[in-house]
């Protein structure tokens, strides 16, 4: 079950078939994705409480979902609905981690990432790019510009924390791997 299904409730149900009364009901969703099971079975590395995460996405629904997930784990969040406002927030209050959508009104996420990497004050901040596009082209391009990780929409709570866990250093702070 995806993030949006959890946010809005269970997935839509198909119309019942004539023989549906004789069949046991199928489960509506898979409660434990494969990567979630693996993460649960090994020792967990959580970031320090109070990590500041900036969410830049033009979808208020995605922003609200990420905010709820991150705040439930003790993160502080900053939010922007476009790249220009997100970059202004970064200049005012430097985050420890950035979630950056690729398709944004005005400046796109790739251009925003270029500006983040060119600025000496922000080039050290890890950036996780987000996209609803199924093509690996965006992931390759984002990594080439300097993204630290990539998530496809819809994403799960487990995927969010697995991506963050890959960026944690020994002091449990998100850091760029190839800074």
Q: What is the pTM of this model?
A: 0.72
pLDDT per position as a tens digit, 108-150: 999 999 999 999 999 999 999 998 886 766 777 777 788 898 8
CA angle 138, 31, 20 (to 5 degrees): 110
pLDDT reported for residue 34: 47
Q: How far is CA 168 from CA 6, 35, 47, 101, in A?
A: 27, 18, 7, 21
CA dist., res. 101 & res. 130, Å (int)? 5
Query: pLDDT band at 26, cuts 50/70/90?
Result: very low
Bridge partners (DSSP) listed for residue 152: 131
CA dist., res. 45 & res. 162, Å (int)? 9
Is the sign of the CA dihedral 83, 85, 88, 92 positive or negative?
negative
CA angle 109, 115, 118 (to 5 degrees): 140
Quick one: what percent of the chain has pLDDT higher than 90?
47
Burial of 143 (0-12, 13-18, 19+ CB in 10 A): middle
- Grouping H, G, I as helix, E, B as strand and the rest as coil, residue 80 is strand
CA dist., res. 73 & res. 116, Å (int)? 26
pLDDT reported for residue 30: 39
The residue-averaged pLDDT of 170-175 equals 76
Q: Determine the length of the chain.
A: 179
Going through 59-96 in order, the beta strands assigned E by DSSP cover 76-80
Tell which wins on pLDDT, 43 or 103: 103
Could you give the domains of the chain?
33-38+51-166 (3.40.50.2300)
């Amino acid at each position: 079950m995806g993030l949006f299904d959890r946010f809005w409730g269970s997935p839509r149900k198909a119309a019942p078939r004539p023989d549906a009364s004789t069949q046991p009901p199928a489960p509506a969703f898979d409660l434990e994705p494969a990567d979630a099971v693996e993460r649960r079975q090994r020792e967990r590395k959580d970031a320090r409480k109070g990590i500041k995460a900036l969410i830049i996405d033009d979808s208020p629904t995605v922003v609200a979902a990420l905010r709820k997930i991150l705040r439930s784990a003790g993160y502080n969040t900053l939010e922007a609905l476009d790249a220009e406002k997100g970059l202004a927030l970064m200049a005012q209050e430097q985050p420890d981690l950035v979630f950056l959508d690729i398709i944004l009104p005005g400046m796109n996420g790739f251009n925003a990432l270029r500006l983040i990497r060119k600025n000496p004050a922000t080039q050290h901040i890890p950036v996780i790019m987000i996209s609803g596009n199924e093509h690996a082209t965006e992931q390759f391009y984002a990594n080439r510009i300097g993204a630290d990780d990539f998530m496809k929409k819809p994403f799960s709570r487990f995927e969010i924390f697995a991506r963050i866990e890959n960026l944690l250093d020994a002091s449990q702070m998100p850091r760029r791997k190839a800074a």
